[in-house]
Each structure stands twice: as C-alpha cells, then as structure tokens.
C-alpha cells in the first residue's frame, strides 16, 4: 500500500527532485549502516582510546559560553506544581 503510493509519487517527480530523493535514500542507508559499524569499532578500542576520542569530539563542540541559571535545574522549575505532595 504505502510502497505503491510512494512509487506513484516518485513517478511524478522531475529530474532535480529525483536527485534529491536519491540523496535522501543514500543518507538513510548510511544511517542504517553506521550504528553497526560504530558498535564494531568501539568494541575494539580500549577505555583509554575511548576517553581520548570522546575528549577530541567534545573539543570540536561550539563554545558558546551560554549556560542556564541554577534555578533552571530546580525540580520546581522543571515540574512546576505537578507531583507535589498536595496533588496526591
């Protein structure tokens, strides 16, 4: 059912749109293969190598300097009045 509907929609696309669909399909395939390959490679590394790789990855994250105020982490700020003793 869905497959037939998608095929019909694809038949109506022009060449540029088909190229975009092709890229999207390649991306989906890559994402499906990636977790298994990552799992296999991470099973082969030592804890020290994992830490080093993680630190290198975090070094590339944006350094915005923006942080939430301490109040943002308070339970009441997160849940509000939900879950208070008076609700029970």
- Asked if the model's pLDDT at residue 88 lies above 60, the reply is no
Q: What angle do CA 74, 80, 84 make, to 5 degrees?
A: 95
Residue pLDDT, tens place only, 1-15 = 999 999 999 999 999
pLDDT interval class at 37 (50, 70, 90): low
For residue 50, give both structure tokens. 């994992």
Q: What is the pLDDT of residues 53-84, one digit of tens each?
A: 889 988 888 777 778 888 888 888 888 777 66
pLDDT value at residue 84: 60
**Residue pair 17/9 in contact by the 8 Å Cβ criterion:** no
Is residue 28 pLDDT above 80, yes or no?
yes
């Amino acid at each position: 059912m869905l497959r037939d509907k998608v095929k019909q929609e694809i038949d109506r696309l022009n060449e540029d749109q088909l190229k975009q669909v092709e890229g999207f399909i390649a991306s989906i395939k890559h994402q499906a293969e990636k977790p298994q390959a990552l799992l296999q490679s991470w099973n082969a590394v030592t804890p020290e190598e994992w830490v080093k790789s993680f630190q290198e990855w975090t070094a590339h994250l944006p350094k915005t300097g923006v942080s939430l105020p301490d109040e943002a982490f308070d339970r009441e700020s997160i849940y509000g009045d939900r879950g208070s003793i008076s609700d029970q």
